[in-house]
Structure 1
Amino acid sequence: MDLMGISLVDWLGYAATATVLISFLMPSEQKLRLVNAFGCLLFVAYGVVLTPVSKPIIITNVAILLINGYYLVKKRKINF
């Protein structure tokens, strides 16, 4: 399915890219990490729906997502 001549898979990739770029405009580190983490989730979804599946996109963004999560938890001083 295309929307304006662009596939939905490509739209997902563009949304992920825009979200990660927008994250760098956030005024605080916590907001940056939260928005960036959402962008990483979008990139993971994008990597999964690509044909064939893109393991480098998935691995990189899962790693960044985990790093963002680590620092978000560390800032809140939550112990598991």
Structure 2
Amino acid sequence: MDANWANYVGYAASFFVVLSFMVKNIKQIRVINLIGCIAFVIYGVFSGMLWPIIIPNAILCVIQLYHLIKHD
């Protein structure tokens, strides 16, 4: 996989995580943050299995999904 592609995914992940702090609606926060966390997991995998990035973001994905499903 091209290293530049992985970097773009990492930048997108950072963008979505920061964006999630800028909205007020909790459901929108969770969805936007979930997108960012998924992108960070992809970034971590394609950047050489960066476990310190993959593990917490995978856990956050599960937490966000739990709250999105629980509150719907």
RMSD value over aligned CA atoms? 1.4
**Count of equivalent residues:** 71
What percent of counterpart residues are identical?
35
Looking at structure 1, the residues matched to 61 and 6 of structure 2 have their Cα atoms a distance apart, in angstroms, of 21
Q: How big is the shift at 1:8?
A: 2.4
1:58 equivalent to 2:54? Answer yes
Looking at structure 2, the residues matched to 17 and 60 of structure 1 have their Cα atoms a distance apart, in angstroms, of 14
Structure number having the greater strand percentage:
1
1:15 is aligned, of 9, 12, 15, to 12
Structure with larger Rg: 1
User: Hey, which bits of structure 1, 4+ residues long, moved more than 2 A?
Assistant: none
Looking at structure 1, the residues matched to 5 and 61 of structure 2 have their Cα atoms a distance apart, in angstroms, of 23
Unaligned runs of 5+ in 2: none
Determine which structure has greater relative contact order: mean sequence separation of CA pairs < 8 Å that are 6+ residues apart, divided by chain length: 2
Quick one: which amino acid aligns to residue 50 of structure 2? Answer: S
Structure number having the greater helix percentage:
2
TM-score calculated relative to the size of structure 2: 0.88
Alpha-carbon displacement from aligned partner over 1:7-52 (angstroms, at most 9, x marks no partner): 22222111100111001112200000001000001000000010x3
TM-score calculated relative to the size of structure 1: 0.80
1:68 aligns to what? Answer: 64
